[in-house]
Amino acid sequence: MTSPHDQDLVFAFLCDLHRHPDVRRIDTHAASVFLIGDRALKIKRAVRLPFLDYSTLALRKAACAKEVEVNRPFAPDIYLRVVAITTAPDGSFDIDGSGTPVEYAVEMRRFDDSKTLDHLARSGQVSAGLADQLAETIATSHRVAAEVPLNTWIDCIPRWIDASVASLAASPRFPQTEVEAFSKLCHSAFSRLTPLLERRATNGHVRRCHGDLHLANIVMIEDKPVLFDAIEFDESIATIDVLYDLAFPLMDLLHFGLPVAANHLLNQYFSIAAPDQIDGLALLPLFMSIRAAIRAQVFLAKLDRERADHANADASAILSIAESYFKLARELVQPAPPTMIAIGGLSGTGKSALARALAPVLSPRPGAIVLRSDVLRKTLFGVGQTDRLPKQAYTPESSTRVYREQADRAARVLAQGFPVIVDAVFARPDEREAIKNVAKQLNVRFAGIFLSADLRTRQQRIQHRVNDASDATSEVARDQERYDIGALDWLQVNASGTPEATLQQCLSTLRTTLEADVARLPMTT
């Protein structure tokens, strides 16, 4: 069986409502999935494409076996085995029968496909907490992924850019001037970033990853994100810098209009789950842009395929998706200059809540890296975020070390073109001056915000904290009342009200203070 025509006989058998009354079929350009009862059978379509070859039964069997091998580490409860579709001497078909195998399928445990993250994203159900979970899941997959020190990953990047550009240029739907400009921007970014790419490859950050981590390939099972449908047909496509893997869901969250979730994924990955990756931030704009261009290419191909098959798809809707991905690709590859915001205030004034609210709306997307002194202190002392530190960890010497490390990390983030928000008490004038000098030395715009609130409010907030990195107590808050803050040249905001009221005060002022960089900030988040 080597032709699509012959394969259609198997597909007709699987779709026979007399045998499988509840069957549902889902087609992609390379596979057909048949949902039957509590199982799913995924069959490789008998096609030969530029990037894969499923034209013979032997090739399809091998691809099925490879898919199970690659995906079991990500989703052991989903991927079960390779099963044969057999035919008896009378020509009848069976699943895992005793006859001659005429097709092979990946047998999977069926899951609720309404729980894939693309479906959840469309209805705005990807919360900040889910994004935090996703960051941990992706980081774990990267830690266990095999390192591939010698490979062609870096050489693949310009080829992938050219392939996407050629596909987009071949379509009459996009202005050629925009496609050409996009190509130049991508190649320019690649040339500039090649030394960083090479360093990361040498340092072991190129691994055998999932490779196709858009939101439709992530599903919630038992309230946890599970990665599935990893690339199996080409090792080179999945042997990539781990940040190219991360760039796909980051970009897709932006595409679906979920900046808060995207920023949480960004911060949880770089600040908590994989802090050793922070020096690769500069790669993300190019990586996300390439991913967006590939998705535009995929939806153009889907549009052409469904028209050829005379399918009843909404052509205008598919084209609109392709256009939105290409628009995002062009935006991401030319990010705006970064900004630095420092948020100070005594314990309980709401610094961290404000930082989290501001981070998603600072440009360039997906927003600011938040550097919180409480989290950094725990990291420096080698304990978990919610583990309590002894008083010795809060000596003046220890605090000086934390502020110095925070300033160093802020400089590293800004130097890579990402906005940053630093969150600490900043009670002393020299601490405030030092962090302001980081921005001055790098010639980036800076805004300092100092929050205040009455003691009772601060103590109530501290008492209601759950699973928080801060070790502050009501007693600490009371002792801080004696601090000599000194002269303040930062924006002073009374934060005794709701977090939303504090945010609006800050947004209103920051639009003026930071001019164009904050002109894009929404009035609400």
Lowest mean pLDDT among 121-130, 261-270, 319-328, 505-514: 505-514
Phi-psi region at 297: left, alpha or beta (left = phi > 0; alpha = psi -120 to 50) = alpha
53-69 tens-digit pLDDT: 999 999 999 999 999 99
**Region 327-332 average pLDDT:** 98
Beta bridge pairs of residue 42: 33, 106
Q: How many helices (H) and strands (E) in the chain?
A: 19, 17
The answer, yes or no, to whether residue 9 has pLDDT greater than 50, is: yes
Give me the chain's average pLDDT, please.
93
Q: How far, in Å, CA of 426 to CA of 489, rounded?
A: 12
Considering only CA atoms, which of 89, 71, 88, 91 is closest in space to residue 80?
A: 71
If 0-12 CB within 10 Å is exposed, 13-18 middle and 19+ buried, where does residue 274 land? Answer: buried
Residues 14-41: tens digit of each pLDDT = 999 999 999 999 988 889 999 999 999 9
Q: Where are the domains of the chain?
A: 4-110, 117-332, 339-519
Whether 4 has a pLDDT exceeding 70, the answer reads no
pLDDT band for position 406 (50/70/90)?
Answer: very high
Q: What values do phi and psi take at 352, rounded to 5?
A: -70, -40
Residue 331 has pLDDT above 90, yes or no: yes
What pLDDT score does 182 carry?
Answer: 98
Per-residue pLDDT, averaged over 190-212, amounts to: 96
Would you state the pLDDT for residue 308? 60
d(CA 280, CA 83): 42
Query: What is the rounded distance in angstroms from the CA atom of residue 517 to the CA atom of residue 520?
Result: 7
| Confidence band for 516, pLDDT divided at 50, 70 and 90 | very low
The token pair at 321 is: 């998706």
> Percent of the chain beyond pLDDT 70?
95
Residue recorded with tokens 């960051």: 135
Domain covering 339-519, topology: Rossmann fold (3.40.50)
Does residue 102 register a pLDDT over 60?
Answer: yes
Q: In whole angstroms, give the CA distance from residue 418 to residue 407.
A: 14
User: Model's pTM, two decimal places?
Assistant: 0.92
What is residue 391's DSSP assignment? Answer: G
Task: Tell me what the mean pLDDT of segment 342-367 comes to.
Answer: 96
Name 32's bridge partners.
Answer: 27, 43
- Of residues 509 and 36, which shows the higher confidence score? 36
Model confidence at 495: pLDDT above 50: yes
Average of per-residue pLDDT across 96-102: 94
Residue 309 is predicted with a pLDDT of: 59
pLDDT given for residue 508 in this prediction: 86
3-state secondary structure of 48: strand
Residue linked to tokens 């996703």: 134
Report the alpha-carbon distance of residue 41 to residue 11 in Å, rounded: 11
Least confident of 81-90, 100-109, 144-153, 506-515: 506-515
Q: What does the pLDDT look like over 412-450, one tens digit per residue?
A: 999 999 999 999 999 999 999 999 999 999 999 999 999
Q: Which pLDDT does position 66 carry in this prediction? A: 96
Tokens (6 digits) for 119: 């479906």
CATH homologous superfamily for 117-332?
Answer: Aminoglycoside phosphotransferase (APH), C-terminal lobe (3.90.1200.10)
